[in-house]
Structure 1
């Protein structure tokens, strides 16, 4: 368990009135970590906004990510969310590179950093803990696969550009929870070969894995979007989680212009329990099988005092949620 102390980089506990973009700092196991925060125009904590985290490419920074990868700021103003750009630490080779779980880990606690940022955004800005999203590019995308595998109880959906899962990530991803998956990759990407290599799995293997985890349809809907881009959507079924993959025929290792809007359109449909519209009819059915029963109660108890089993939308799992579950006990259409 990591110990987190929130230390704001400004003198005040809150940003100065009208300030929209600023750095904050959290201490994770004795290590200070920084992240850039962007609040939408006329921000009001009462809005209970979602948060979009973006993890920059290797040896880059939040500022470079905004300039050369994805600038969520105008989208945040329109669609009302908080944008957060975490900063990687300098590693032993002098690179601001993310650390991945697995056999090549250098010990930097990136998962603890991600959880610390979530806790900070909830505590400091009343962000909605059930609507935390992450995107990542290149090495930041590799880290985002770690978040999907190991923090599915904290992130509702992810968007990964120009990265496939490392072999060791895939091998360790045995207890992954359902999570919205959006993936964009060019067929000529040198960092993440489309058909895999000795370090990363193939796109086909990756798609099949997440379709299985999410309980999505085994048959994708294929759409040719033009410009060499084909979208493959595996629709959600009872578990209310889908998978979408964009294949960029001849695409290189870069961030395509359509990626920002495609990722936000996808992830914003999700809460921690799945596609929001899919869940509205029976929120106590946590595993999406159409019945509120002991399996759902087990999921609720596993998420106790966290957002994982939250039914009433207050951001934590407690006795109120148990009451709602018991009141809805049985088949979802029985009322």
Structure 2
């Protein structure tokens, strides 16, 4: 039983116990008391019973419940007991490793007790002050489907060699990973969050960062979906502690993030990212990580669709290769709007373990 429901149950049960014993106390005295003394006797009974309450076991617990009436009050007023008020593109600040980081927040209206999934969106290079692709559509869908959109904003004082999002990071440069977790933790304190349904999306450089999330934060996040990125052939760390579903969409005519060939990038002054994977190779690598046993898909003149399924924890690794598409975000993929395609995929998965 969840904390706030247990608190309500405990408080209700305690009230019933007091009422029964007050009635019993009064019943035993009722024949002897004049009506003018009945009220006084009721007060005395209530006081005596409340003094006995800690010994009654009514608020006792085997370790998983509420320990005191004070705790019960605190639990009742948790985030899941209040409705969520709708907000759109609200600039929000969170403290990460002593540094103020910003993100734009869209929250749907929701009744008390409705647990909301979270999608964190990571923009492309130079996109900190720009709208995320199909941002208005994502926001409208968030209101419709009841999930939270958090648009992460990269720090503006990093060098070109570092990049706006830290990629292929060693343990000494995980600020952006910490940023993603700090967003979740902050929202978890303020809203009723479904902690099993945490997702990330990204475009271009932001797509690359979703693979940092997939590799290093899979103990919390359940799935990622992105367009026009890739990841290192040999990442610093990419151990699956939890399950991770992956959707990747990419234009086969992309002249910035090559579709068919590996390429070297940023032998930089912070930490070199290394050799970046071609897209089919990256998809195959994820199918191996997820221990997928079956393949499906189709190819047409305009689209290659690959699905790896039969994977551990029932995840799926899915890829859309668009034949005549470059680096620009597509409005739709195979007849479905891109924002909705991504949500449809993400919403299938919840974190296990």
TM-score by length of 1: 0.69
Distance, in Å, in 2 between the alignment partners of 1:17 and 1:77 is 11
Matched, 1:150 2:216: yes
* Alignment-derived partner of residue 345 in structure 2: 266
* CA shift in 2, pair 1:240/1:27, >3 Å: same
* Cα distance in 2 for residues equivalent to 1:229 and 1:76: 28
Q: What SS is found at the alignment partner of 1:90?
A: coil
Q: 1:268 to 1:201 in 2, by over 3 A?
A: same
The superposition leaves residues 83-124 of structure 1 with CA deviations (integer Å, 9 ceiling, x where unpaired) of: 110111113338982122337x99460000001111111111
Instruction: Give SS of 1:251's match.
Output: coil
Distance in structure 1 (CA, Å) of the matches to 2:105 and 2:242: 28
Instruction: Confirm or deny that 1:223 pairs with 2:293.
Output: no
Please, which moves more after superposition, 226-235 or 179-188? 226-235
Q: Is the 8 A contact 2:297 2:307 kept in 1?
A: yes
**1:49 touches 1:126 (CA, 8 Å); kept in 2?**
yes
Q: In the superposition, relative to structure 1, how do residues 254 and 24 fare at CA in structure 2: closer, same or farther (>3 Å)? A: same
Structure 1 unaligned segments of length 5 or more: list them: 1-13, 274-308, 310-335
Q: In the alignment, what sits opposite 2:94?
A: 26
Partner SS state of residue 46, structure 1: coil
Higher gyration radius (CA): 2
SS where residue 129 of structure 1 aligns? strand
- What is the CA–CA distance in structure 1 between the aligned matches of 2:91 and 2:83, rounded to whole Å? 10
Aligned match for 2:306, one of 219, 232, 239: 232
Task: Report the counterpart of residue 210 of structure 1 in structure 2.
Answer: 286
**Unaligned stretches of 5+ in structure 2?**
1-81, 265-274, 333-337
Contact 2:304 2:322 in 1 (8 A): yes
Deviations along 1:141-190, one digit per CA (max 9) or x if unpaired, are 11111000000011110002101112353x53245643010001111212
Residue 146 of structure 2 is matched in structure 1 by 80
CA distance in 1, matches of 2:249, 2:133: 18
Shift of 1:66: 4.9
Shift in alpha-carbon separation, 1:144–1:62, aligned structure 2, 3 A: farther
SS in 1 for 2:119: strand
Name 2:328's counterpart in structure 1. Answer: 254
Give the equivalent residue in structure 2 for 1:243. 317
Q: CA offset at residue 32 of structure 1?
A: 0.5
Over the residues paired in the alignment, what is the CA RMSD in angstroms?
2.7
Cα deviation 1:6-56 (Å, max 9, x = unaligned): xxxxxxxx999654431211111111001111012x333521110111101
Quick check: 1:164–1:192 contact (8 Å CA) kept in 2?
yes
Figure out how many residues of one structure are paired with residues of the other and give that number.
255
Structure 1 counterpart of 2:37: none
Distance verdict in 2 for CA 1:45–1:89, change over 3 Å: farther
SS in 1 for 2:124: coil
CA–CA distance in structure 1, aligned partners of residues 210 and 239 of structure 2: 16
The answer to whether 1:57 aligns with 2:131 is no
Matches for 1:1-335 after TM superposition, within 5 Å: 19-40=87-108, 42-61=109-128, 63-66=130-133, 71-93=137-159, 97-102=164-169, 107=173, 109-169=175-235, 171-175=236-240, 177-195=242-260, 196-198=262-264, 199-217=275-293, 219-224=294-299, 228-258=302-332, 259-273=338-352, 309=353
Q: Go from structure 1 to structure 2 and tell me whether the alpha carbon gap of 1:203 and 1:96 turns closer, same or farther (over 3 Å shift).
A: closer
8 Å Cα contact 1:156/1:272 also seen in 2: yes
Q: How many angstroms apart in 2 are the aligned matches of 1:223 and 1:176? A: 31
The answer as to whether partners of 2:87 and 2:105 remain within 8 angstroms in 1 is: no
* C-alpha displacement of 1:244: 0.3
Distance 2:175 2:89 in 1: 25
Closer/same/farther in 2, CA of residues 251 and 243 from structure 1, 3 Å limit: same
Q: Distance in 1 between matches of 2:210 and 2:164?
A: 13
Question: Secondary structure in 1 aligned to 2:287?
Answer: helix
- Please give the alpha-carbon distance, in whole angstroms, between the structure 2 residues aligned to 1:241 and 1:44: 30
